[in-house]
Amino acid sequence: MKVAINRRDTEFGISRIAKDYLISKGMKITKREDKTGNLINENAEIIDNTNGFSIEFDFIDDYTINDDEYFPGIRSDPRLIEMIEKFSYGASGEGSDIKVVDIPDGVHFYIKGRGEHAEYVSEKHRIWY
């Protein structure tokens, strides 16, 4: 299974050409509400941060992937993977360094380090307390 990660300590930002390509493949885009910063359409896969919230919410890139609780599997979405493999470095937003990692099929995984440091994929393990 292929999974997209960001090798920098920023939001998962994509370039304008990547955004346009993903929209052409059927992904939806949304903006944030002017006063609250909440997403106008929480079901959209792409977030447009160009209405001023990019500074307030400390985003570096104009377009980010909506990979929170609404789309936990978007990082392995075939459209996203195809776009990254097609555009390589051109897929990343200005503050991101997006790459695809290949993990064995059937492995349950987490993406660690989101927004804190360079992301990596970690296999889920059993934990007892």
For 11-62, what is the HEC assignment?
CCEECHHHHHHHHHCCCCEEEECCCCCCECCCCCCEEECCCCHHHHCCCCCC
Q: Is the pLDDT of residue 56 over 60?
A: no
pLDDT tens, residue by residue, 57-109: 454 578 888 876 445 588 899 999 999 999 998 999 988 999 999 999 888 88
Query: Alpha-carbon torsion 32, 36, 37, 38, what sign?
Result: negative
Q: Domain spans of the chain?
A: 11-98
In three-state secondary structure terms, 80 is: helix
Quick one: DSSP state of residue 118?
-
Q: What confidence score (pLDDT) does residue 15 get?
A: 93
